[in-house]
């Protein structure tokens, strides 16, 4: 049974005094339904689940009046399940298939007596079909594949080990070599397996990466089926989706429309990029004019990199079977692009918007992280020459930008040189939350 950070979020929602419906969104197969069922089993005496994709006939419940009393009567009649006031969770899964159910949430929440969770994989894509969104009646949470923290926990890494690593990060000292080597191996395993729950569980149960790969390919096929079913401009979305690995594998990872078609223009493709982003399949990383806060005001929306929602799915999309080479740390096999994808999905799962900096006279910085009043440049290095970084040196030398700290993620152990901290790949989980209590409230 995989423990997830969403478990804590759901419990906090249940304990809150101003209860709203909990709206759980995210790409397909990230574990939304499983998490809700587990939460219900542990916290409610009665649980009623309606999946509108599996049982489309349930949409008839919401065809008439949307007053709460009528709806509750219809729901109980449809399910033949008596409800227990103040101890029942009603779960509307794949709610994008029944837009009027989303509208009805306002009236059900106002009525009280029961708790409601909504879940859907394509809510960002299909929200325009909802007659009236229940603004102010939903607590929104986007769920992602397992983070590296969650992956470590799934593989049984003890909290005491990570406590040592986090202390090394905070005290700016090297990690004990045995722990360092072990975590480097597990990190490479995460890069190959990714964080899709079904793939991680298969790895935990069998250690069979061939089976993991098949699960990843099945999920990719499901994503393509969603494009066929829901996307307005299917050829454009297919081209973008299929081009992601190739674009990331280029020296300049910025997405080039000319690679899709010679006559491609942003105004023709923008909605198709947004389809993949809204579906949770792709993660955009926008260029900024200067690495200064607030990064949002420096964003250049027409210049971006596009990452996949899961690094394991990305490795499964490459034409050659690269899993073995990645496990062995062969840096010549698409390693840099996959490493960046890992960092991108970790930042996104911590609600951090993705930015990078690229200027012809300065060079490219892989990521910029804004934390409080600081902007932190982050470089992701795949090879052994990770102390060579001209672009990073240049931007740190510009006094007016006031960049006091930078990180280089690498295969080496932690080492400080001036403003730059060289930290091992696995240590990036502390960049956004370097408070000592963060990891252990979840364990």
Q: pLDDT (tens digit, 0 to 9) for every residue of the chain, 443 residues total?
A: 788 999 999 999 999 877 899 999 999 999 999 999 999 999 999 999 999 999 999 999 999 889 999 999 999 999 999 999 999 999 999 998 999 999 999 999 999 999 999 998 877 666 556 667 777 899 999 999 999 999 999 999 999 999 999 999 999 999 999 999 999 999 999 999 999 999 999 999 999 999 999 999 999 999 999 999 888 889 989 999 999 988 888 777 777 655 565 555 665 677 888 899 989 999 999 999 999 999 999 998 788 899 999 999 999 998 767 777 777 766 565 688 899 999 999 999 988 999 999 998 899 999 999 988 889 999 999 888 899 999 999 999 999 999 999 999 999 999 999 999 999 999 999 987 644 333 333 33
* The CA-based dihedral angle spanning residues 315, 321, 324, 326, taken in that order and rounded to the nearest 10 degrees: -40
Q: How many domains does the chain have?
A: 2
- Does residue 389 lie in a domain region? yes
- Does residue 49 lie in a domain region? yes
Closest CA to 195 of 151, 158, 149: 151
Buried b (16+ CB within 10 A) or exposed e, 427-443: bbbbbbeeeeeebeeee
Do 190 and 135 belong to one domain? no
Rounded distance between C-alpha atoms, residue 183 and residue 152, angstroms = 9
- What is the β-pairing status of strands 415-417 and 420-424? antiparallel
Contacts of 10 (CB under 8 A, 6+ apart): 22, 35, 36, 39, 117
What is the torsional sign of CA 218, 220, 224, 230? Answer: positive
Task: For residue 405, count CB atoms less than 10 angstroms from its CB and return exposed for 0-12, middle for 13-18, buried for 19 or more.
Answer: middle
Structure tokens at 360: 């012809």
Q: Which domain-ending residue is among 113, 142, 171?
A: 142
Structure tokens at 192: 């190959």
Question: CB–CB of 125/230 below 8 Å?
Answer: yes
Cα diameter, the chain:
69
Do 99 and 170 belong to one domain? no
Do 247 and 115 belong to one domain? no
- Does residue 1 lie in a domain region? no
Do 279 and 170 belong to one domain? yes
Rounded distance between C-alpha atoms, residue 224 and residue 52, angstroms = 20
Q: Which domain-ending residue is among 142, 175, 191?
A: 142
| CA-to-CA separations, 404 to 292, 373, 384, 400, 420, in angstroms, rounded | 12, 11, 25, 11, 9
Closest CA to 116 of 142, 93, 100: 93
Q: Which domain-ending residue is among 122, 142, 162?
A: 142
Do 74 and 177 belong to one domain? no
Q: Which residues constitute the domain of residue 126?
A: 6-142
Do 137 and 165 belong to one domain? no
Do 373 and 242 belong to one domain? yes
Do 13 and 47 belong to one domain? yes
- Does residue 344 lie in a domain region? yes
Rounded distance between C-alpha atoms, residue 51 and residue 91, angstroms = 8
* Residue 134 per-residue DSSP state: -
């Amino acid at each position: 049974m995989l423990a997830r950070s969403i478990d804590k979020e759901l419990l906090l929602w249940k304990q809150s005094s101003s209860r709203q419906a909990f709206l759980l969104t995210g790409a397909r197969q990230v574990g939304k339904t499983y998490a809700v069922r587990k939460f219900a089993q542990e916290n409610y005496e009665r649980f009623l689940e309606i999946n509108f994709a599996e049982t489309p006939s349930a949409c008839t419940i919401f065809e008439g009046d949307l007053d709460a009393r009528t709806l509750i009567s219809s729901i109980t009649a449809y399910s033949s399940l008596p409800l227990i006031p103040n101890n029942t969770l009603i779960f509307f899964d794949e709610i994008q298939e029944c837009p009027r159910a989303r509208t009805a949430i306002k009236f059900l929440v106002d009525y009280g007596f029961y708790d409601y969770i909504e879940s859907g994989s394509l809510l960002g894509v299909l929200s325009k079909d909802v007659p009236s969104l229940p603004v102010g009646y939903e607590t929104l949470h986007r769920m992602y594949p397992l983070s590296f923290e969650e992956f470590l926990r799934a593989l049984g890494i003890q909290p005491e080990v990570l406590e040592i690593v986090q202390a090394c990060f905070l005290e700016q000292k090297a990690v004990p070599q045995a722990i360092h080597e072990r975590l480097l191996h597990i990190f490479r395993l995460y890069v190959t397996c990714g964080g899709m729950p079904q793939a991680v569980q298969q790895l935990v149960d069998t250690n069979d990466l061939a089976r993991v790969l098949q699960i990843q390919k099945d999920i990719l096929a499901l994503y393509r089926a969603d494009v066929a079913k829901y996307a307005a401009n299917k050829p454009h979305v297919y081209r973008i989706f299929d081009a992601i690995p190739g674009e990331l594998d280029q020296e300049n990872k910025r997405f080039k429309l000319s690679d899709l078609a010679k006559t491609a223009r942003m105004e023709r493709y923008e909605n198709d990029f947004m389809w993949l982003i809204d579906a949770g399949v792709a993660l955009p990383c926008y260029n900024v004019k200067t690495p200064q806060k607030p990064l949002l005001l420096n964003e250049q929306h027409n210049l971006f990199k596009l990452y996949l929602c899961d690094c394991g799915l990305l490795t499964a999309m490459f034409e050659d079977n690269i899993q073995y080479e990645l496990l062995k740390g062969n840096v010549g096999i698409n390693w840099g692009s996959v490493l960046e994808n890992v960092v991108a999905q970790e930042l996104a799962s911590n609600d951090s918007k993705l930015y990078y900096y690229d200027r012809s006279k300065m060079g490219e910085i892989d990521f910029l992280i804004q934390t409080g009043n600081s902007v932190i440049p982050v470089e992701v290095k795949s090879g052994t020459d990770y102390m060579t970084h001209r672009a990073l040196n240049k931007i740190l030398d510009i006094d007016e930008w006031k960049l006091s700290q930078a990180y280089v993620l690498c295969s080496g152990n932690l080492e400080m040189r001036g403003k730059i901290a060289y930290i091992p790949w696995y240590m990036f989980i502390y960049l956004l939350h370097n408070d000592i209590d963060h990891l252990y409230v979840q364990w």
